Structure formats: structure tokens, C-alpha cells
Amino acid sequence: MIIQRSLPYLANSQSYFEKIRHLGDAVFLDSGRPKCPWGRFDIIAAAPVEVLEVSSEDATAFDKLQQLYNKYQSDHTEIESLPFQGGVIGHFSYDLGRSNESLPSLADDFSDLPDMRVGMYLWAVVADHHEKRTTLVTDSRVDAESLQKIEALLAHSTTAKSTPAKKSASFSLKRPFKANMTEPEYTQKLAKVDDYIHSGDCYQVNFAQRFNSEYTGDAWSAYKALREIAPTPYSAFIESETSQILSLSPEQFLESKQQQVTTKPIKGTRPRSANALEDQRLKQELADSIKDRAENLMIVDLMRNDLSKVCTHNSVKVPKLFNIESYANVHHKVSTVTGTLQKNCSPISLLEKCFPGGSITGAPKIRAMEIIEELEPHRRSIYCGSIGYISLCGRMDTSITIRTLLCEDNHVYCWAGGGIVADSVNEMEYEETFAKVNNLLDCLERTIS
């Protein structure tokens, strides 16, 4: 049974997160409101009753996730305005794909971030920005004393000062971001990708570079600054005792709602322009680009294939193909693929069979992942993985963690890449990586004293 208590509705939910952050293992699944008008739900939680950490070396990673879910599963009825009614929230790093595929181990595994880290959260603040309603959702298994404490913390979020953060409230980079490849090194790697494509190994490879710097202070302050300049509907801030994940992702990976599955792969990008006419020209150029259409279609076909593993026969459809969506710094080409989940398949099975997302690997997926491992100097960690929830009511929604930063041991990492195909132009591909994350890197570099 779930208990619902109304809270004051706030167009910006971040003050609710600040109230409960100190409870530990805090999560903020952020729809980008108020600046992102199509975002709907914010989900905020902390103090999970259990935490599951799994390495990609564990072939039973998704089985363990299913076992954790089953342990707390209930017969909650899904409510449109309450998609999360207690359940699993956490991250799934790109390399979790190793748990069900045999891949080489060549790139530097630089991070201590677990490949999967999720918590079982039995209460959450859910803000529905369409209905302008905020609700404290609590499972009846939460004891009365804990519930009273949570309610007291949230009671005056509109006026009271935020609970002090665990660290300094400020954030400061020590130096500018540095890429893990020079431009000549990057283009050399692209030439190798091109060789693989023309040799018939693959059709497309998503290739990325990593940027890193050092910082002092509180990553939450950095996230608040980033969400102001890059509001997106699949943003998130997740922290543990040893790391923080700051995600400003525009891309949905997998949604499962009453057996209906949706995925929205992004392939095709143009930068935004402050000049309205030039901005429209860039948008139209993306819409008309034959190369970007081909690139997008390859991934749509890959995702259709992945969904077909767990969806009923003939249910996989493509209701939207090559839509253009505009964000703060880029235009994207986005398609929508849907299907009906088989009755014997759980959302976790769906996640396992489709992981990692095809839009950030290439096609065919496994060969593309082998090439990525060979050519990228460092493992991807959280980049191109996923963040999301699996509610005890059966609903799941997850992102692809592009435009995502990892803060760990006072180092901050950020990645950017793009899909490489037979007619890619190296210089344009290199510049596209900067177009995707320059607004994030520039924002944080302004904190250098």
C-alpha cells in the first residue's frame, strides 16, 4: 500500500532535494523545469533501504537487480501522475554491457564507479509539472518515525533555508578541461574507424573523447549552474559517499508503461546559433541531411531489432521518424520506436536485452563496441550508460547518459562523441563533439579563479 501526502508545488524542485540530500544516497531525476517546458516529472529520494552494487564482471548483474526488485515488489496500481511509487533508482554504466557480452579489455579502467549502483527507495517526492502537483509518496513499510522525520524536513521548503550541504557550497575548477586525445590523434582514430567501415566490419561506430579537470567544492553547486544553462528532460544528479553523477541528457533510452515500450534514439546534430535566421538554417540543414537520415535510420533499425527480442510479434513500430528537437545548444534528429512487452518479460529483462543503447554504440552493436574498446583510450564509465527508475508499480523510465559528468576524487570527467559512418568528415565530427558539450565545459571553466 502507498500513502500520499500533498506538498506545496514548486516550479523548480531543487529546494526539496536540498532538504533531504544529507540523508545519504540522494537522487534527483530532474525534468529540467521550469526552463524545459516538455519535462513532466521530477523524482527526489534518499536513504534507500538497500543498495546494490554490481561489477560488469558479474554475469548475473541483471539477475541480482531482478532479485532486489522482487524482494520488495507489490501490487501497486500505476497512477499517471505518480509514475514512481517506491522502487529502484540508480545508474547503469556503459561497461555493464560486459555482463552479458564477451568484449576485449583494452581501454584504461580509470574509475572506481560501480558498473551498476541502485538503491531501493520506499519513499520519494514526485513533482508532476503538468498537473502542478507535488506529492510525498511513501510505501506503508516505511516506519512511522522515519516518515515523521521526512515530513518535517520537507515541511517548509518554500521558505526555509536549505539543509547545509555535506561539503562547501561553492564549486571551483583548478584548471581548464583537457581532452584525452589531441586533434591529430582523434582524426587518426577516425581513419581507423573508416577502415573498419569500408572493410565491412560495421556500418557505424559511435566514437568519443573524454575531457577532465580537477575541482574543489561541492558538485551539487556545479549541477545547479549546469541545469540553468542546459535544461533537458532526462537530467539527473545522483551521489554516493565517493562520487556524484551530473547528467544533462536530452535522450530517453527505455520507457515501459503498462507493457508499452518506447525508445527515442538521437542521431544527427547541429549547433544552435544566436542569430535566428542562421539557427533556422542549421535546423533545416539537419532536417534535409541525407547523411544524418541514414545514420539515424541505422540506429532505428538496431533498436527495432533489440526491442523485438522482448516484444510481441509484429508490435514493434516507428511512429515518428527524423523529428527535429531543439535544445539550449544543439538541434537533434530524434526518432521514436515502440512495442508491446511480452507478458513473461519484466522491465528489467527489457533493460538487459537492449543494454547499452544502440544510439551510442553503432551497428552492428557488438562489433562497434569492440572497436570502441580498441580505439578509445579510457573506458566510458557512466558515459553512454543509463540512469533511471523501475517503480514497484511496474513502470520504468531511463535515459541515455550523454552530456553527463562524473565527479570522483576531486576529478571531474565529461565525454562527447558522435556516430561515424562511411561519408563522415573528420573535421566536422571533431567539431561536433565540442558543439555538444562546450556549454557545459565553459560554464564550469568560468569558476576557475
pLDDT, residue 18, reads 96
CATH, range 2-445: 3.60.120.10
Give the pLDDT confidence of 174-227 residue by residue, as tens digits: 999 999 999 999 999 999 999 999 999 999 999 999 999 999 999 999 999 999
Cβ 94 vs Cβ 114: under 8 Å: no
Catalytic residue check, 18: no
The CA distance from 308 to 156, in Å, is 48
Cβ neighbours of residue 264 closer than 8 Å, sequence gap 6 or more: 251, 252, 334, 335, 336, 337
Catalytic residue among 267, 333, 365, 436: 267
Maximum CA extent, the chain: 65
Give the pLDDT confidence of 138-159 residue by residue, as tens digits: 999 999 999 999 999 998 654 4
CB atoms within 10 A of CB 128: 19
Q: Evaluate the CA torsion angle 22, 29, 257, 137 in order and state its sign.
A: positive
Give the residue among 110, 219, 233 at the shortest CA–CA distance from 444: 219
Cβ 418 vs Cβ 207: under 8 Å: yes
Give the pLDDT confidence of 279-303 residue by residue, as tens digits: 999 999 999 999 899 989 999 999 9
Give the helix/strand (H/E) hosting 271: strand 266-271
Q: Which backbone phi and psi does 438 adopt, to 5 degrees?
A: -55, -40
Give the pLDDT confidence of 76-88 residue by residue, as tens digits: 777 878 999 999 9
Catalytic residue check, 251: yes
Catalytic residue among 251, 295, 376, 408: 251
